[in-house]
Amino acid sequence: MTDFSQAPHLTLLPAVDVAGGKAVRLTQGKAGTEQSFGSPVDAALDWTRQGAEWIHLVDLDAAFGRGENRGAIKKVIKAVKGDAQIELSGGIRDDRSLEAALETGAKRINLGTAALENPEWTAHVIAEYGDQIAVGLDVRGTTLAARGWTQDSGDLWEVLDRLEEAGCSRYVVTDVTKDGMLNGPNVALLQQIAERTDRPIVASGGVSSLDDIAALRELVPIGIEGAIVGKALYAGSFTLAAALDVAGK
């Protein structure tokens, strides 16, 4: 226990996924599985009051190409400004959407589909914005998922090699099969990716218990910088305060 207490801390990012102006959670990222949790502003403020320093904010409608929640996103970021940083994701695929995302005041922008479908633009954006840009690697097995996880889009290792060459500063890695399932993170996948990059990795998908957070914290020395936590918090599996304690804040 003494050794663990001295381990480097794991950054936790409570998730606020927005659809139709409401905070929702999905199962395995599938449209139509939304479960509403009310106001995204209230959700974000709740997490910051409990000690969150980062929030993973997702515009699900933009990710699925069925609209956008720009007004709600701006309200969330304004509400938590000064208390938590925002990692923003969902539907950011070109200069216009990237500029709009940056104008919200988000600290970090997470690219998804664009990083798979538009390599030249992605390399340009990475070169221009550096640490402000992360790339989401949403994986089924070793196949990447795009378009709100509705389409397969390439081999994980080939895309990772390309992003490494482009100088990507950070990866957000999600095992799609585990997202919202509360059956534990894919530690083996995270270890495999960490072996292929010296860039920090944010883990996503499957965190269901404080033991899962402890297991991810043990991976910090190999490059697992943080973990996105969603459904387990909304379901009351543990409190964010307890999770932050285990994560070493």
| Residues with catalytic function | 17, 138
- Tell how strand 171-175 and strand 151-155 pair up: unpaired
Alpha-carbon distance 131 to 72, whole Å? 25
The two beta strands, 11-19 and 22-25, are antiparallel
Alpha-carbon dihedral angle through residues 57, 151, 68, 77, given to the nearest 10 degrees: 10
Give dist(CA 211, CA 128) in Å, integer.
39
Rounded Cα distance between 222 and 195, Å, is 8
